[in-house]
Homo-oligomer: A and B are copies of this chain.
Amino acid sequence: MCQLLGMNCNTPTDIVFSFTGFATRGGRTDEHKDGWGIAFFEGKGVRHFVDHQAAIDSPIAELIKRYPIKSTNVIAHIRKATQGVIALENCHPFIREAWGCQWVFAHNGDLKDFEPQLDGSFLPIGSTDSERAFCYIMQCLRTRFGMHMPTLEELRTFLAGLCNQIAKHGTFNMMLSNGGVLFAHCSTKLHYIERQHPFNTAALSDEDVSVDFAQVTTPKDRVAVIVTEPLTSNEHWTAIQSGEMKVFVDGRALV
């Protein structure tokens, strides 16, 4: 299995604190050592880093821990291979373009007997069930909505149904973002927290590191962090329910 980390904010924010704890699980405090990846939206552009080394040994992960890239939407993944060999093309997150936007996707879980018919509009490059599911989602979106980018409400309804359909094949915790919104579907395990004014100090569970967010934020900032297992030991994380999809916009889960 793997672990997922997402961030959605109303103002560009760096993910150094959360990524530091998360990357530690990629080979030190946990067994997810078969590669990792992270994608940062900056406007419509994306910085995409993938590596088939363990995050804990990766010079690129080191760079990200030191170099604060500010982003409003981030998706990261550490991999423990279940399907697909250890190779760069099997590292999440995966990216495709649709409607002139980048779509970034990562998955935690394992799908059995999942062989959807793909029409060629989006095809997997690697051999994971995850990328197959992503291509299927993008194909279904394009088939359903054609040339016109769906509204947020249309996307939300359609994706919630589609994720529950895919989840019949196994565990399907996933995150998907187009840079404006972050969708998080929970099949077995996913937690989130919304940080906003007044900000407090948070302490990582996986490293002896704390940060006082009050020192690095303004009162109007809002940041949602979504992750497989809570990253901090002194904050309250909310579990997303099995079968539920949360939609994050401007650092807040829509109700």
Instruction: Name A's B-contacting residues (CB within 8 A).
Output: 42-52, 59-60, 63, 67, 87-91, 95-102, 120-126, 146-147
Contacts and interface: CB of A to CB of B under 8 A. Distances in A.
Contacts of A121: 121
A32 to B, nearest CB: 18
Contacts of A51: 47
In the complex, the count of this chain's copies comes to 2
Nearest to A59: B67
A125 B50 CA distance: 21
Mostly, the A contact residues are mixed
Contacts of A125: 44-45, 97, 100-102
Contacts of A96: 97
Contact of A63 (B60, B87, B89, B102): B60
Given A45-B126, A60-B63, 7 more contacts: A44-B88, A44-B126, A59-B67, A96-B97, A100-B123, A120-B146, A121-B121
Given A48-B48, A63-B60, A67-B59, A100 B124 contact: yes
B50 A50 contact: no
A46 B97 contact: no
Contacts of A60: 63, 67
